[in-house]
Structure 1
Amino acid sequence: WTIWREGAEHMQLAEGYELLQTQYCSVCSTDLARRFLPYPLPQITGHEVIARRQDKFVALEINASHKARGHAQALSCRFCCSGLDTQCPQRITLGINQLPGGFAPWVLAPTAACIPVPASVDPLVA
């Protein structure tokens, strides 16, 4: 996958991502404070996402660490190995720093970061 920003190539994503249709995305204080964060703009925000995978709903983990991306580096990254994958300096965060977020109609999400929403749970509530 190639992500473009302002007409120029922004980043390349390796295997382990899938294109999902956004169903719901909520607003949180991070979205509202996004302009103050030390990451380049423009950025499509929205990191609290429920997406559709075929005919089922999934909730998306926002921190795409080595572990979430299914990369072998997770075995040698001291953050990922210590259970601190949300602090991994190589993480790519959906809707905050690198990956376009859930206020877009489609998102690229790490396959390992997709959490199935049980059929007994309304996706709007999930």
Structure 2
Amino acid sequence: MREMTIEELKLASGGFGVPGAIIGGVAGAVGYYGNAAVTGGASAGGLASAVVAGAAAGAVLGPGGGTAIQNGAALIAASQVTFYAGQLAGHVSNVFNSIFDQSGTDYNNAAGTNYN
């Protein structure tokens, strides 16, 4: 094992911070919208909790610094991954709901009805 240089130490230290919180918050919101687009259910409280959870995780786990290009690339990548992960979670949720909801009370999806 070798020793780190001063430049490497500057890059490795400060593994949490504001840029990570911003990226995490945006990623949380995008993931929530991906899930809501598939499931059809969304709320302000759900969005807020997704943003707060994403920001908290990003502040601890995300980049603490770096260049604007690095942070921008991380934001784009995180947004893409969380959006499609949210959609996948929504599809899985819909499949489980359709399998296990055999009560016959799902009138909103019945053809030819307008009970709304």
Return the index of the structure with the highest Cα Rg: 2
Please report the TM-score for the alignment, with normalisation by the length of structure 1: 0.28
Task: Kindly indicate which of the two structures has a greater share of residues assigned to helix.
Answer: 2
